[in-house]
């Protein structure tokens, strides 16, 4: 059996995959499955060995300044000065406790990824269907898929009946992905591999069968888990600076100690014990023992202020990191945009309309224009435009989504794209429940990736009110789908005065292309004669003589507050980059509206895949929009930015973002739509999933960073003054004016309180 088929399964024919995996159509035998389980191991993710809590606590003593203090404590103990010893050790332990308590819990990110795995799977074994523990799945198993299930492993689709999956957590693609049995292109990115289903993703509709190609750590989810466990967590900029400062200070302390010992012994003729205590005093005086306490308290105050502005800090050092950020790498969907698909344009036979309002709230107006390139227009009442009302009514009748008004605002149940049509119709006072009550459906053909359209038959004879634009019809079939498919079945179109003309395909294709080039998803709506028997529709019932009603441009619009926040970041010297799993044209269009990039330059995942690390390192300086990227690409981009010395913030919401979130100087997860894996890998969580909150948090972070620098500038002269007094006393042969215990008291109490003030 060739287990390497998992890398090319998306591009291979079904027969080839089954042959390579030695997978019979009626499933493996129990004996064969047991043998493969022994070979490939369980379908689980490997667990990382966690550090024992005691060892984690002891790791906080691994600091060069702490070594100096411990050394001073040992010297005072040998000299019998136990009060000094216990005070020094108490300070050391308190500092370690503070560090241990504020330490992040990034290891939980791995556990959160593991929790995404399905617990059970429906599989063919010995010719029968049975439910088994998903951990016992092996390559070559035939699994059964149905709506509502979580995909238990990576698998090649061999049968699909309107099968769709939500892969947002894995690819960043917000729209459900239709699955098919036909092979995908060999170079297709993860989000475009429509012949595959992936472990941990959710089946949103339809049914199907698939053959398992990879399990456990070999799945795409497993690869992310491996990346997550291997990512080295960088220290924050301030902690790096404090570490460098500690090394230099230690060298200065040692030099001063040696000079003082020599001077006191040979010049001052001091007693050895008294001289050693003086050197201990110099060491204790020079080390800013109160610094950890000041840092912790200052950061905690920053955390409180940020929480009031929807930014929740999970790890204290992340507060000051925000103040140092020079680049923000942001996801598009839900962060820079509302993650709510919106119909913004409608094109009819001899008119076009722009629709205002964003999101699912049915609030907005219609502006009539001659065509999409026309910047001038006038607001119009849709009720006075019969063909516009006909198009909107048809899009509602040919629709399986539901628009709900709840305490949390307007929400959609079902496909976001279909929901966008319901919202557009609601702005014209057309409602699904009202239409269905007056115009019942008689048959439905659900959307499928195979024929790329949805169709319904509606009975107009029992309608208590006429359907605009179809008053003389008894029944009609309404079709909604991909423009190229609908256009190929159209022969006519209807003008605004109700007269029929021949279908002008080139004109419609040009309008659809114009919408697509501005990042819109384009769908066409048409009507046709209902077949004689309408109990059940088939694709063949949708004939070649449809009448086009119009096309719609749909986009996930940018947040208005995000546009302002990007501008603020740019003015503050922070560069914003969009790194998304969405398509290149869509990413570029949204980026242009947000003010990110030059409106022309975009690099896709396929291009990144062929680039070396050196090429990416060059490109990342000039390019601000990256589309169709994979988790590995995000990691490479963040690493490239850090190699240039950039302090990088990375936003994300899916498990695919977790490695990059952990690698970034500060990871920012979405609080509402983010997965647990993303939240656990991040230092900060946005309570409102809004990019504008990042700008506010950076502002607070800069204040905290400034306060910490002020505290250091206050403490160091104080400590230096204490050390110089002792050195001067030794050189001039005077009695030591202050003991090590007194110095510690001054440093921990007086210096801390004054520095905080």
Per-residue model confidence as pLDDT tens digits over 520-532? 989 999 999 888 7
Which residues have a Cβ under 8 Å from the Cβ of 214 and sit 6 or more positions away? Answer: 6, 139, 153, 154, 199, 220, 222
Banded pLDDT at 281 (limits 50, 70, 90): confident
How far CA 310 is from CA of 337, 661, 664, in Å, comes to: 17, 19, 21
Residue that the structure tokens 């010992």 belong to: 261
Looking at the predicted structure, is the pLDDT value of residue 671 above 90? no
Asked if 693 and 148 touch (Cβ cutoff 8 Å), the reply is no
Please tell me which residue, 136 or 300, carries the higher pLDDT value: 136
User: pLDDT higher for 743 or 593?
Assistant: 593
Q: Give the pair of three-digit tokens for residue 19.
A: 């042959």
Nearest one of 374, 356, 352 to 365, comparing CA atoms:
356
Say whether pLDDT at 104 is over 50: no
Candidate list 84, 192, 331, 541, residue with the active-site label: 331
| Annotation marks residue 545 as catalytic | no
Nearest CA among 168, 534, 555, 184 for reference residue 358:
555
Please report which confidence band the pLDDT of residue 105 belongs to, taking 50, 70 and 90 as the band edges: very low
pLDDT tens-digit profile of 214-223? 998 899 888 8
CA distance 2 to 5: 6
DSSP string, 555-605: E-PBPHHHHHHHHHHHHTT-EEEEE-SS-HHHHHHHHHHHT-S-SS--EEH
For position 77, what pLDDT does the model report? 77
**Quick check: 582 and 175 in contact, CB under 8 A?**
no
Give tens-digit pLDDT for 36-67.
999 999 998 776 566 677 877 777 677 666 77
CA 531 to the chain's CA centroid: 46
252-281 burial code (b ≥16 CB/10 A, e <16): ebeebbeebbeebeeebebeeeebbbbbbb
Q: Which 3 state secondary structure label does DSSP give 384?
A: helix
Sign of CA dihedral 443, 445, 446, 447: negative
For residue 141, which of 27, 243, 277 has the smallest C-alpha distance? 27
pLDDT value at 235 more than 80:
no
The label of the residue with tokens 């030099």 reads 255
Burial of 757 (0-12, 13-18, 19+ CB in 10 A): exposed
pTM of the model: 0.67
pLDDT band at 110 (very low <50, low <70, confident <90, very high): very low
State pLDDT tens for residues 246-278: 778 778 877 877 887 777 766 666 777 777 777
Give residue 489's pLDDT.
95
Token pair listed for 169: 């957590």
Portion of the chain with pLDDT greater than 90, in percent: 33
H helical segments located in 263-317: 272-286, 291-307
Read off the tokens for 743: 């110095």
Cα diameter, the chain = 118
What is the sign, positive or negative, of the torsion defined by CA atoms of 144, 149, 154, 157?
positive
């Amino acid at each position: 059996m060739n287990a390497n088929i998992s890398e090319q399964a998306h591009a291979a024919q079904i027969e080839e995959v089954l042959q390579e995996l030695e997978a019979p159509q009626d499933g493996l035998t129990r004996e064969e499955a047991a043998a493969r389980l022994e070979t490939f191991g369980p379908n689980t993710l490997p667990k990382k060995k966690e550090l024992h809590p005691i060892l984690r606590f002891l790791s906080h003593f691994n600091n060069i300044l702490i070594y100096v203090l411990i050394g001073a404590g040992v010297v005072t103990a040998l000299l019998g000065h136990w009060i000094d010893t216990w005070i020094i050790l108490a300070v050391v332990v308190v500092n370690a406790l503070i560090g241990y308590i504020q330490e992040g819990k990034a290891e939980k990110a791995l556990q959160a990824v593991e929790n995404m795995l399905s617990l059970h799977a429906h599989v063919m074994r010995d010719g029968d269907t049975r439910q088994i523990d998903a951990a016992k799945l092996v390559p070559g198993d035939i699994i059964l898929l149905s709506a509502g299930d979580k995909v238990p492993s990576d698998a090649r689709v061999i049968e699909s009946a309107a099968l769709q999956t939500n892969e947002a957590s894995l690819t960043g693609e917000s729209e459900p992905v239709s699955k098919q049995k036909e092979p995908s292109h060999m170079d297709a990115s993860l989000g475009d591999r429509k012949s595959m289903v992936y472990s941990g993703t959710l089946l949103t509709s339809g049914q199907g069968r698939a053959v398992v190609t990879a399990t456990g750590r070999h799945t795409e989810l497993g690869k992310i888990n491996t990346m997550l466990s291997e990512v080295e967590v960088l220290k924050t900029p301030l902690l790096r600076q404090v570490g460098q400062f500690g090394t230099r200070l230690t060298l200065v302390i040692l030099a001063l100690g040696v000079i003082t010992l020599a001077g006191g012994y040979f010049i001052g003729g001091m007693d050895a014990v008294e001289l050693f205590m003086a050197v201990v005093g110099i060491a204790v005086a020079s080390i800013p023992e109160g610094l950890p306490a000041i840092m912790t308290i200052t950061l905690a105050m920053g955390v409180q202020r940020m929480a009031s502005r929807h930014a929740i800090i999970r790890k204290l050092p992340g507060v000051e990191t925000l103040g140092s950020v020079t680049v923000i790498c942001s996801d598009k969907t839900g962060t820079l945009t509302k993650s709510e698909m919106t119909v913004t344009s409608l094109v009819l036979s001899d008119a076009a309309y722009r629709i205002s309002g964003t999101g699912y709230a049915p609030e907005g107006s219609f502006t009539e224009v001659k065509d999409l390139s026309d910047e001038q227009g006038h607001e119009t009442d849709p009720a006075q435009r019969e063909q516009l009302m006909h198009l909107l009514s048809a899009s509602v009748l040919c629709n399986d989504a539901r628009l709900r008004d709840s305490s949390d605002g307007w929400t959609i149940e079902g496909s976001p794209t279909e929901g966008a049509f319901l919202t557009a119709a609601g702005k014209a006072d057309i409602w699904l429940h009202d239409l269905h009550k007056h115009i019942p459906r008689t048959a439905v053909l659900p959307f499928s990736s195979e024929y790329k359209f949805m169709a319904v038959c509606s009975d107009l004879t029992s309608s208590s009110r006429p359907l605009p634009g179809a008053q003389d019809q008894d029944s009609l079939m309404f079709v909604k789908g991909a423009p190229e498919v609908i256009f190929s079945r159209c022969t006519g179109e209807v003008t605004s005065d109700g007269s029929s003309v021949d279908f002008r395909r080139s004109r419609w294709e040009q309008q659809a292309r114009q919408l697509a080039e501005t990042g819109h998803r384009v769908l066409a709506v048409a009507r046709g004669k209902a077949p004689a028997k309408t109990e059940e529709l088939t694709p063949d019932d949708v004939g070649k003589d449809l009448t086009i009603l119009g096309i719609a441009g749909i986009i996930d619009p940018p947040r208005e507050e995000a546009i302002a926040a990007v501008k603020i970041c740019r003015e503050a010297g922070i560069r914003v980059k969009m790194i998304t799993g969405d398509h290149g044209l869509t990413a570029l269009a949204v980026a242009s509206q947000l003010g990110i990039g030059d409106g022309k330059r975009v690099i896709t995942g396929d291009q990144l895949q062929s680039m070396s690390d050196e090429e990416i390192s060059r490109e990342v300086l000039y390019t601000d929009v990256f589309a169709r990227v994979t988790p590995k690409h995000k990691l490479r981009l963040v690493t490239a930015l850090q190699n240039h010395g950039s302090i990088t913030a990375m936003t994300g919401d899916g498990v695919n973002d977790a490695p990059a979130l952990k690698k970034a100087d500060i990871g920012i997860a979405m609080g509402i739509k983010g997965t647990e894996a993303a939240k656990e890998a991040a230092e900060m969580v946005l309570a409102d999933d809004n990019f504008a909150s990042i700008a506010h948090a950076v502002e607070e972070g800069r204040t905290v960073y400034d306060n910490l620098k002020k505290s250091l500038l206050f403490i160091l002269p104080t400590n230096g003054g204490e050390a110089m007094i002792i050195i001067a006393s030794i050189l001039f042969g005077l009695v030591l004016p202050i003991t090590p215990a007194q110095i510690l008291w001054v440093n921990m109490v007086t210096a801390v309180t004054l520095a905080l003030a």
